[in-house]
Amino acid sequence: MLKNNIRKYSILIVILFITFTLPLGIKNPYIVHIFIMMYLNIVLAMGLTMIFKAGALSFGHAAYASIGAYTSVLLVTMLNIPFWIAFSLAGVVTALVALFIGGITLGVRGIYFTITTFAFTEVMKGIYNAYLYPFGGPGGIRGIPNPSGIETKEQFYYLALIFVLISFFIFYKMAHSKSSFGIICDGLKLNELLEQSLGINTKTVRIFVFIVGCTFAGFAGSIMAHYLRQINPETFAIHTSIDIIVFCAAGGFGSIIGAVIGATSLTMIGELLYGIGTYKSLVFGGMLILIVLFLPEGIVGFISRKRILK
Amino acid sequence: MVPLLELSKVTKHFGGLCAVNNFDLKLSKGELMGVIGPNGAGKTTIFNMISGVLNITTGNIYFKGQNITGQKPYMINRMGICRTFQLRTIFDDLTVLQNVMLGGYTKKGLGIGFLSSFLGTTKKKKELEQSALEKIEQVGLTNHKDEIAKNLPHGFQRAMALAIALVTEPEVLLLDEPVSGMTVKEIIWMMELINSLRADNQRGILLIEHNMRAVMDYCDKISVINFGAKIAEGLPIEIRQNEDVIAAYLGGKSHAA
């Protein structure tokens, strides 16, 4: 037990050390860029994992990231609101949309809920495309100013790093199999009727988890838009949602550590595949099929099963 | 005295089908009451209405004199009515201890203020774990507390389902066929356990069961329903001799009428 803890904390300290000193050692801006995108992908994957843990598979995660992104970009460019306030408001707006949409759609279960999330993603894309004002139409919004104080890649790197660490702490706490909330979520997925009959308001739990997961997607979207300095309806479309699902599936659906591992490894692989352009989706799709067939519990499930057999 | 649980003219229609018709029932503290009837008589429908899973077409349900008709299942449980399910209904992939602890989150304020549950309220959690362990001991599963629930034998799973219900500390316990699929030895053990649950005379237990011996030997009072309507109610000895009941179970003249 103690030995386990020591190992766990030493791994954590090594990871923290490497991630915090990385930009000092590596001056290659492309690699720093990959890491920034990786951190944001990790947050997106963790949010989706949390929602899945409470029994719902969402194809709309990218749509919530887009809501956060457009909200904060519009607040900054049109109203000249400082980045940090716009960033916070992006979270609030995403949470409210998640409350409204989740409140309606979480009433339907299983695959039917998933279909509604598909539809929502397409609706949002349609709205961004249709309205030149304020969303910029298909061309989106370009030339987004850098937030004051965060101008260089290194500064963005640390912003993304701190953001991913805070999110990880919150999601890990929520999903942990020893925390009450983690067990309530597991129980919700395993047997909702029984859990209701034990006095747990399962609908509130589902909506709460959905809001938390989506809000962090909104935050991530906001950071990503300000970092890339441009956003258009394709930045966070259905293919982004599918990428996030592939991250989660690769790591092991339902596990926060799995989300981190999946998003990390696949962001790297995705960047290696940069040369083949649009064929990336093809490779990711093929990978999803292979994972479902041969690694249904993802990397984390594979490792833990090996450990048990040993 | 106000009964613990009272059903008054409860009726349930599924479209054109009348599943339960004008059903009355009174359950007092310390009472163990059996509800029997042939398959499809409407027994489980009654449980589903009491526990709020199904809406009631007409009629009322009172808990300690308070009308609880139409409340949501989780509210019904918080008031102090807990049910178990007919088929094995457990959290498959969790351990026995986790299963039982899940029953207590609301009681310990970890369920309602579920925000508090991940901000960490260690003291309450310790209390909950303690009370869960007590219930696990009560149903005799202490040696299996860390096993994954789905790996347990059937009888143990039913015992665990009872422990999950007990940890919510219900005043009314609704048991839906708790001894189905058990061996004779297990049935006796389970019925003794159920019998002991009312010992302090604070709890009322309503029991649906097909096993006649279990019901006849242990229940204070038995209510018999057929085609959604009550056909008899009384002491086990009276029920045993009631012609309508015999006809309902064995088939006879009054059945056709």
Same domain, B120 and B236: no
pLDDT at B112 over 50: no
- Would the CB atoms of A184 and B82 count as touching at under 8 Å? no
Mean pLDDT of A201-205: 87
Give the percent of chain B with pLDDT over 70: 90
pLDDT at B80 over 80: yes
Q: Please give the pLDDT value at position B237.
A: 82
- Does residue B162 form part of some domain? no
Mean pLDDT of B183-207: 86
pLDDT tier, A101 (very low <50, low <70, confident <90, very high otherwise): very high
Alpha-carbon gap: B61 to the closest alpha carbon of chain A (Å): 17
Q: Please give the pLDDT value at position A213.
A: 95
Same domain, B198 and B239: yes
Alpha-carbon gap: A150 to the closest alpha carbon of chain B (Å): 31
- Would the CB atoms of A190 and B94 count as touching at under 8 Å? yes
- Would the CB atoms of B102 and A173 count as touching at under 8 Å? no
- Would the CB atoms of A186 and B73 count as touching at under 8 Å? no
Boundaries of domain holding B110: 90-153
**pLDDT tens by residue, A51-66:** 998 888 999 999 999 9
Mean pLDDT of B7-28: 86
Same domain, B21 and B62: yes
Chain A residues near residue B74 by CB distance under 8 angstroms:
196-202
Same domain, B248 and B193: yes
- Would the CB atoms of A199 and B72 count as touching at under 8 Å? no
**pLDDT tens by residue, A142-158:** 888 888 888 888 899 99
pLDDT at B176 over 70: yes
Q: Please give the pLDDT value at position A310.
A: 59
Residue pairs spanning A and B at CB distance below 8 A: 99
pLDDT tier, B119 (very low <50, low <70, confident <90, very high otherwise): low
pLDDT tier, B255 (very low <50, low <70, confident <90, very high otherwise): very low
Q: Please give the pLDDT value at position A137.
A: 87
Query: What tokens appear for B257 in the block?
Result: 């009428």
Total domains in chain B come to 2
Which of A123-132, A298-307, B33-42, B199-208 ranks highest by mean pLDDT? A123-132
Same domain, B75 and B102: no
Interfacial A residues in 206-235 facing B (CB < 8 Å): 208
- Does residue B145 form part of some domain? yes
Q: Please give the pLDDT value at position A60.
A: 93
Same domain, B125 and B240: no
Same domain, B71 and B107: no
Alpha-carbon gap: B123 to the closest alpha carbon of chain A (Å): 13
Task: Identify the CATH number of the domain in which residue B35 sits.
Answer: 3.40.50.300
Q: Please give the pLDDT value at position A40.
A: 95
Nearest CA in chain B to A189: B91
Q: Please give the pLDDT value at position B23.
A: 86
pTM of this prediction?
0.87
- Does residue B165 form part of some domain? no
Complex ipTM above 0.85? no
Mean pLDDT of A108-126: 92
- Does residue B118 form part of some domain? yes
pLDDT at A223 over 90: yes
Same domain, B147 and B217: no
Same domain, B76 and B94: no
Same domain, B209 and B131: no
Same domain, B132 and B25: no
How confident is the prediction for chain B on average, in pLDDT?
83
Mean pLDDT of B107-115: 55
Nearest CA in chain B to A176: B118
Q: Please give the pLDDT value at position B254.
A: 47
pLDDT at B90 over 90: no
Chain A residues near residue B123 by CB distance under 8 angstroms:
none
Q: Please give the pLDDT value at position A309.
A: 65
Alpha-carbon gap: B111 to the closest alpha carbon of chain A (Å): 6
- Does residue B198 form part of some domain? yes
Same domain, B12 and B73: yes
- Does residue B163 form part of some domain? no
Q: Which of A194, A201, A208 sits opposite B85 (nearest CB)?
A: A194
Q: Please give the pLDDT value at position A42.
A: 96
